[in-house]
Amino acid sequence: MRNNKSKVILSILFAVILCAGVLFPNITLAADTRPSYVALGDSIPAGYGLSTTADAYPALVGKEINYLVSNLAESGDTTSDLISKLKTATYKNKLSKASLVTISIGGNDLMGSLDNILTLLYGEAAVVDGIYAKSLANLRTICSLVLSSVPSNCIILFENIYNPYESMGSIGKTIGDRIERQNQQIKTVCDERKGITFVDVTSMNGNPDNFNAGKGSTLMEMIDCHPTKAGHRVLADLIKAGFYKAGGKNYVQPETTTTVKKETTSVYTTEPPVYTSHYETVEVSTSIVQTYEVTSVTATETTELTTEITTAEAVTETEETTTTEEITTTNHVETSTEGAVSTTHETTTEAPIYISTEHHIEETTAASETEVTESESAEGTTEKEATTLKETEKTDEKGKVKVWVVIVCLVGGAAVLVGAYFLMYNIFKYILMKRKD
């Protein structure tokens, strides 16, 4: 029974995933846009001896400058091994996208084994010279292969070799002399090649906490040249210093913005005109109650205003007050045509008011503008608003329908897949039972 229940649950989950893939085919995971950092070399960048490669200096550097790390270093590699790998498609592909490359190689050419160490210390000069000569040629080949594989703006850092035995007396000093000769060769190669920055890591020499050498109970543990976790921390800081010196900068992840297209309906309305009565009481600063009657006559448009003024304050005969205010007038227009037609219009005009002691003002103006807005304008606007509201309601209904269609498709698709699964399961079960019979 448990097996059957598990099968049913798995089938349902699988069906839901399939339906999501069919209904939402454009859903993709965001790609990592960080620049690429490729680490090349031997057991030192590979993190040999650490409990986790996350403590190795390539991982530390990549995290702190926000680069995507591809650690291609392998323990035990010599310069000859790295040359072979740089010619492969895997290495070329990684390097073609790199923004930063670090190279740590050459140590195993000298100290890859106990035999190598003994040869360096006590071997014949010709043999030792041959080791250095071969290593120098390989270093040049490595630089050429890397330069030909990376983009033109890629930063390439080539590290020299530290001396893990410096604190071990005379033997440590002798080994240090042999390492220094190799370091000179690495620096020479970097100086010969434009685009490669030399990084000196020998400042970590002399601190036993940086190395495994001298620790442990066996001979191999005593001569272990690999850095400790603390040593990798020092290496990471030295690599970052070289990176910044070469013009590198920490990568800042750009902020992602989502653009959502939203359909909006714009409603344009015109404020309806305000109509007032043809008589209006206006309160002025001098507490004057005024009633205006305007008569327009002839083309000269001479307007005679007769003002009846009731005031609580006496107005001096010589005082003239000029005010501008919005007044409502009744225009009596008389037209001398056949049939003598008389019409009355209610309009709102803004006219200057001149008040004199005689209360009789005569004003001559060039033209007067009147603006009459028909009631049909307001009615048209109301009809547009009603139409817009109906369209908005229809859009909302369509959106709801789409959501329900998606839900129905999901549920229906899941049901179809589950049914297909059980159908196939029963068919196979039937076939197997027939075979047994």
Tens-level pLDDT at each residue, the chain (437 residues): 555 555 556 556 665 565 555 555 555 555 789 999 999 999 999 999 999 999 999 999 999 999 999 999 999 999 999 999 999 999 999 999 999 999 999 999 998 877 888 888 888 999 999 999 999 999 999 999 999 999 999 999 999 999 998 888 888 898 999 999 999 999 999 999 999 999 999 999 989 999 988 787 787 777 789 999 999 999 999 999 999 999 999 999 887 655 545 555 444 445 555 544 444 444 444 333 444 444 444 434 434 434 443 443 444 444 444 433 433 333 443 333 333 333 334 434 444 444 443 444 344 344 444 443 444 544 555 565 566 666 666 666 666 666 777 787 788 878 888 788 778 877 877 777 766 66
The whole-number pLDDT of residue 392 equals 61
Q: Which superfamily does 35-245 belong to? A: SGNH hydrolase (3.40.50.1110)
Tracing tokens 């272990």 back to the chain, one arrives at 224
Q: Look at residue 102 in the predicted model and tell me its pLDDT.
A: 98
| Contact criterion met (CB below 8 Å) for 107 and 42 | yes
pLDDT value at position 423? 82
Stated length of the chain: 437
| pTM (whole model) above 0.75 | no
Q: Quick one: DSSP state of residue 212?
A: S
Which is nearest to 346 in space by CA: 360, 332, 367, 362?
332
Task: Give the residue from 202, 99, 107, 203 showing the smallest Cα distance to 157.
Answer: 99
The pLDDT, as a whole number, for residue 163 is: 93
> Domain coordinates of the chain in residue numbers?
35-245, 294-367, 403-437
Classified as helix, coil or strand, 416 is: helix
Own/partner contacts of 320-325, CB < 8 Å, gap of 24 or more, are 320/354, 320/355, 320/356, 321/286, 321/355, 322/352, 322/353, 322/354, 322/355, 323/284, 323/352, 323/353, 323/355, 324/350, 324/351, 324/352, 324/353, 325/282, 325/284, 325/350, 325/353
Question: How many angstroms separate the CA atoms of 110 and 133, rounded?
Answer: 12
Containing H/E element for 409?
Answer: helix 375-436
- Reduced to 3 states (helix: H, G, I; strand: E, B; else coil), residue 216 is coil
Q: Which of 274, 273, 285, 276 is nearest to 329 (CA)?
A: 276
Q: How far apart are CA 69 and CA 392, in angstroms?
A: 52
pLDDT score at 414: 80
Q: What pLDDT is recorded for position 332? A: 41
Which residues face 361 on adjacent strands? 305
d(CA 135, CA 199): 18
User: Which contacts of 177-181 are long-range, i.e. CB under 8 A and separated by 24 or more positions?
Assistant: 178/110, 178/120, 178/121, 178/128, 179/110, 181/132
